[in-house]
Amino acid sequence: MEWLWSSHDHQPGETMSEPDTTHRVLAAVAAADLHDTVWWRVDGGYAPVTFFVVCNDVFAWGTADAEPITSDTIDAFEAAIEDVKAVTDGDATFGPMLYAARRRHCRPQGGAYPSDRRVWALFDACGPERELDNHNPTPAPEKASREAFTPPANPPVASAWATDPATTGGLAAAWVADPTPSSSGDCGTASSDTGSSSSFDGGFSGGGDCG
C-alpha cells in the first residue's frame, strides 16, 4: 500500500481545530449520519483534535489517504454536504467525498466514482477528466450511461462554490451544459513507500490539478 498525503499543507505542531470548528464538524456528521467517513487525531501536533475526511482509494488506487477539515475549510465541508443533499433528496452520503474532491480540484478515480448518478455533475466540476494510469486504472462511468440519465437542468445548490463561475472549479452543473472538460491535465499525486497509515506528517505536493 502507498501513502497519499492530503492536499493540506499542515505540519505537526500546529493546532488544527478550534472549539467552534469541532462542534460544527460533529454536528454535520451527526445530522447526516456520516460517522464512518470522518476520522480524527488528538496526539502531538494534532491536539486538541484534528478532523479528516477518510479518502482511502478515492483519488488513487491502493492508497491510505485523508483530507483535513480545519477552521478555514469547515464552511466548504458543510456546503459540500448541503450541495449533495440538494440533488439527492437529502442523502448526504457523498458529501465528504465531494468536499475532498473540491479541495483537491480533482475527480475521484474511476473505480471510486459515486454510484449515485445524481451527483455526477458535482464531481465532474471538481476537475478535468482523468487519464488512466496506475492510480486511476478504471474508467469513470461511461459516457453512454451518462447520456441515458438527464440530471436537472438547474439543480438546487447551497453554496457559492457550486453556483459562482468565478470560483475555482467552475459550475456544479457544468457537465449538464457541456460534458467536455474545459481544461486538460492529470491528477497529480504524492506518495511515499513507507506503507504506513499511522501518521499525517506532511503536505500534499503533487502536480497536475490535484494541488
Whether 171 has a pLDDT exceeding 90, the answer reads no
| Percent of the chain's residues with pLDDT above 70 | 59
Cα–Cα distance, 187 to 135 (Å, whole number): 9
Hey, what's the torsion of the CAs at 122, 124, 125, 129, to 10 degrees?
A: 170
Q: Quick one: pLDDT at residue 105?
A: 98
Read off the pTM: 0.66
**143: exposed, middle or buried (C-beta count within 10 Å: 0-12, 13-18, 19+)?**
exposed
Contact 65, 52 (CB under 8 A): no
Cα–Cα distance, 77 to 152 (Å, whole number): 23
Give the Cα-Cα-Cα angle 121, 122, 123 (nearest 5 degrees).
90
* Residue recorded with cell 480545519: 70
